[in-house]
Chain A
């Protein structure tokens, strides 16, 4: 099972999960047909690979190991398999995979969804599985007709010799008796793709417009109970004592019990559980977190940013270059804690029985969830079954480094003997931590007499994200968490002397990756600082970027596309201005031009022009959708998003105090996919980093006011 984490494979080579790795795959823990999929099935089912099942009734099912949280893997991944199988993807059925090594990331050896790598890390393996199935179906037809396989071809679900035709379903039973070929069948070249690269409607569309799609919160099982948990108001707090008398008197409440994270109220339905929790009396021990406040944190971190930190990168001699610079800037950029605020609040159903534990959850983190549940219950992973549901948003929150909402639900259900759904209210979710880290960044930079940057020093202060995770031993070296400086220390801009330092903080606030992780912070820092350098040097911010991206044709093509389509330089109505930002993240390059006006403290974003190079765009309309998505998610945060602390307590709790963008505030968005023969890049996250700096740079162009603290609305009020 997946629970034994071995860490990343030393080889970066992407294993083909399939027949090609029967020999090589053992070392990576890969097995051809997973344990759970060996359940008895009708003999006529042909399952040559863990990823695909072909039934005699012509139903072709693709089994995906990735979680669908809006980003479109439910459609894009099956397209890859269908392309090689030669089967129109719109007729596919899709299933979420069980937790099984067959669905592990090829190098990280875990089953999870994140890092915008679902397509790039599984594309070839899915295609290989499709090609394998097609090869064996052709072999079955050849045997049936007594002809050479080489005389046969396929056409969308049918094997034919030109006159005879046999559907895949009719060949499934025979194909299931044939041996797999000794070498993997070849894959198509890109120019022969029939469906990949053409817009394909979402395969989950129908279920999601009819209310039939089952999210975690919709899971309903016989005898199921529903729980809510009273958790400490301050991070790191504990239950001192509690009195359940009144809670137990609420009709429908069946049990109140202490668990490691608080006190659970278990009831026959959600309303009873909520009423029970209102009646529950808990005395809390606040702990050291009660001294935390955003104001003091800001002051302490600003002081830290003036101290030498751990040196993560030292290219050239940035300190000496600063001294000889013609002009310099010394500025601080501050970004707040952010909640992910998925539309579906956190939840998880668990049923702990004598024979094991069954879990139904919308999670991004299957392998780690199972591993942490083995520890919580002291049982073997083989006795845990996890059923992945649709996720009503993820954005990283459903890949919690502690599997917090899954493990908690197991604690709630343990001993109850029935399935229990643990439900988080919006307030629970928003005050539950696992935020994007609060981040303070000092930038000292200098330009030469020509206005070109010659020195750049970034001192970052924040709690490191990856260091909190199971990946920490493999990626955090000498105290440097690569996510703290991603998109800064490795920016694509050619600045000769570059120094990056970090201060790792350790406040008791759980923090987490938030859509685009460090890039959502450093995209703002880097693109804002470049804009400031352009301004002090008297250079156009686009022209300066072009100069610093010389020799990077893909970046330049993306920049030029956004500039051309946005009408950069052309007149605008009075009061409007444009701003530009470009960020490379998750192997894709995105540039955005925001068109903005400001009245008082009210910012209006009228239009965003976006250009993206993501290599091969498997499902182009979903690339467009993810750019729209990343932009609007980032814009909500840029304008409004902040979690602040007073006496350790988050001051925001619902959409009144943590506003998100509304329909009337959403700008027009034009997305342009730049044709590219580059490798497949990510698409779920790279749309987010450029929007905040593009908007802030436009605000500067419109008003002369530089926004160095997010959210924008808070900065403009001060």
Chain B
């Protein structure tokens, strides 16, 4: 058995040590908000936080995680109150929505470490998160809006 700290809870899983965290979250822990898109860290759909840093769950073996804290979209807030989620709703960012858990987790990590990201900061932080629906312009605006919300602006 492998113990994982997921969204503030310790969860025990019976998994092959090589199993990527993505499949452990989705298939074993039934946390399906984290998405499979490429399996090779090429698209960012599986982005979760490991001790607050964005990682690609599809290439992270469960045996490599140890006691690090995993946060998934389900653990970001219980009620869409996180500034990134509020900004996403305010600007109606989503279309098909499939990449958005990963986009939101990447954006949340960005504004946690950078209270006022520039366009270049957004490019650097978000370039690994692909979207086929073309929500990039709204994502860019929403990241800035989320940062403003986090700074306490209304």
Contact = CB atoms under 8 A, between A and B. Distances in A.
Contact of B26 (A270, A636, A655): A270
A269 B27 contact: yes
A320 interface: no
Contacts of B67: none
Contacts of A208: 94, 97, 100
A209 B32 contact: no
Interface size class of A (residues with CB under 8 A): 35 or more
Contacts of A72: 95
A549 interface: no
A205 B74 contact: no
Interface string A645-665: 000000000111000111110
Contacts of B94: 70, 202, 204-205, 208-209
A218 interface: yes
B47 to A, nearest CB: 12
A395 interface: yes
Interface in B17-40: 19-20, 23, 26-28, 30-40
A210 B32 CA distance: 11
A275 B134 CA distance: 34
Interface in A385-443: 390-395, 423, 425-426
Contacts of B88: 205, 209
Interface in A174-231: 201-202, 204-215, 217-218, 220, 226
Given A205-B88, A206-B80, A70 B97 contact: yes
Interface stretch (A41-49, A130-138, A342-350, A517-525): A342-350
Contacts of A214: 32
A188 B121 CA distance: 49
Contacts of B92: 201-202, 205, 621, 625
Interface string A68-99: 11111000000000000000000000000000
Contact of B89 (A201, A275, A344): A201
Contacts of B32: 211, 214, 217-218, 220
A140 interface: no
Contacts of A654: 38-40, 42
B122 interface: yes
B134 A633 contact: yes
A655 B127 contact: no
A663 B88 CA distance: 16
B96 A270 contact: no
Contact of A390 (B27, B97, B122, B140): B97
B113 interface: no
A175 to B, nearest CB: 34
Contacts of B138: 625, 628
Interface string A665-708: 01011000000000000000000000000000000000000000
Contacts of B100: 208-209
A633 B129 CA distance: 15
A251 interface: yes
Contacts of B99: 343, 392
Contacts of A215: 35, 97-98
A206 B89 contact: yes
A35 to B, nearest CB: 30
Contacts of A342: 96, 98, 132
B150 to A, nearest CB: 16
The residue among A201, A208, A654 with the most chain B CB atoms within 10 A of its own CB is: A208
B42 A656 contact: yes
A345 B37 CA distance: 7
A539 B153 CA distance: 52
A426 B39 contact: yes
Given A205-B92, A211-B34, A269-B23, A343 B132 contact: yes
B99 to A, nearest CB: 5
A211 B37 contact: no
22 contacts: A70-B97, A201-B92, A202-B92, A205-B89, A209-B88, A215-B97, A220-B30, A220-B32, A269-B23, A271-B19, A275-B16, A342-B96, A343-B43, A343-B133, A344-B98, A345-B36, A426-B40, A625-B95, A632-B131, A662-B128, A662-B136, A663-B129
Name the 5 nearest CB pairs between A and B, nearest first: A211-B33, A392-B98, A632-B134, A208-B97, A70-B95
Interface of B: 15-16, 19-20, 23, 26-28, 30-40, 42-43, 45, 72-74, 77, 80, 85, 88-89, 92-101, 104, 122-124, 126-140
Interface of A: 68-72, 201-202, 204-215, 217-218, 220, 226, 251, 269-272, 275, 341-345, 390-395, 423, 425-426, 621, 625, 628-633, 636, 654-656, 660-664, 666, 668-669
Given A206-B89, A655-B43, 17 more contacts: A201-B89, A208-B100, A209-B94, A211-B32, A212-B33, A213-B97, A215-B98, A220-B32, A270-B23, A343-B130, A393-B133, A426-B43, A621-B92, A630-B134, A661-B134, A663-B123, A663-B139
